Amino acid sequence: MSDARLLAGSDTIEAPARRPRAGKLRLSLLGVLLPVGAAILWETAVRSGLAQGRLAPPPSRIAATLSELAANGDLWLHARATLARVAAGFALGVLAGTLLGALSGASRVARALLDPTLQGLRAIPSIAWAPLFILWLGIFETSKIALIAIGVALPIYLGTLGAILAVDRKIIEVGHSFRLGGFALARRILLPAVLPHYVTALRAGLGLGWMFVVAAEFMGASEGLGYLLVDAQQLGKPAQMIAAILIFAVLGKATDALLVAGAAPFLRWQDTAANTQG
């Protein structure tokens, strides 16, 4: 009898944990509804003759193009090249943006020195950097990775700086009242306060990294999804262009999801509205 009660008790404990997971799965499936519905509507419009589908091919033609690119190996070749560039540029951009943001957040003098210049650089479009980087670094990988790193570093700098400046002074005073100092204060007070904003900055930087890689691959690349786009535009292949854009969207979403999943264990302590919604 006691075993039965224990089993019943364990079921009642696990059931609430399963419910939020089921709710999240339903919401994830709901997110697929809009693109799938739009694809079905456009396919129906083209097949019924309501639209030509010459410049905006139907999903069936795009799927056939993706299948062809996968079969001949071009899809993996170009996707791998783009992923490698984004990964390298993202790593360098995170390092530079985090260091500059932490330095500016910790020192008023450093902030007065660095912030006006970096805020000005943020306003420069990605394509404007391309000719300069080609002139300085050539048309090879160094210039492409440097361009992506610039795009990643600036939003991460801004997010890191904003997160540090937004830390409530009362929290720091509480830490001092418990005689926390130096590393202990940073680990137990400052880092938890900064981390949620920092993760948001990382996601913004990653998104800009995917945007900047397109400009980078317009700079004389012979491999990459950006090259695939240019090749399709020059040869008049709209299905290939849309296929390349879709691959960008899928890879960008996948890497963002990986970043969110990697950061989730460090943010479990948060008691926010997002964590309580069913």
Q: What is the pLDDT of residue 215?
A: 86
Q: What is the pLDDT of residue 95?
A: 96
Q: What is the pLDDT of residue 51?
A: 80
pTM higher than 0.85 for the full model? no
C-alpha to C-alpha distances, 252 to 4, 50, 167, 259, nearest whole angstrom: 48, 33, 30, 11
Mean of pLDDT over the chain: 83
Confidence tier at 122 by pLDDT (50, 70, 90) = confident
| 81 within 8 A of 141, measured Cβ to Cβ | no
Q: What is the pLDDT of residue 31?
A: 74
Look at residue 137 and tell me whether its pLDDT is greater than 90: no
Q: What is the pLDDT of residue 50?
A: 84
Distance of CA 82 to the CA centre of its chain: 14
139 residue type, one letter = I
Domain boundaries defined on the chain = 1-51, 54-276
- Give the model confidence (pLDDT) of 246-267 as tens digits: 999 999 999 999 999 998 887 7
Fold classification of 54-276 (topology level): MetI-like fold (1.10.3720)
Instruction: Tell me the H-state helices in the chain.
Output: 2-47, 59-71, 74-106, 108-122, 126-137, 141-165, 169-177, 183-185, 191-217, 225-235, 238-263, 273-276
23 phi, psi to nearest 5 deg: -65, -40
CA neighbor of 155 nearest in space, from 108, 117, 114, 207: 207
| 143 within 8 A of 212, measured Cβ to Cβ | no
- Give the model confidence (pLDDT) of 11-67 as tens digits: 444 444 445 566 666 776 777 888 888 889 988 888 888 888 788 888 899 999 999
- Give the model confidence (pLDDT) of 188-231 as tens digits: 777 777 888 899 999 999 999 999 998 888 877 788 999 999 88
| CA–CA dist 211, 188 (Å, integer) | 36
Q: What is the pLDDT of residue 24?
A: 67
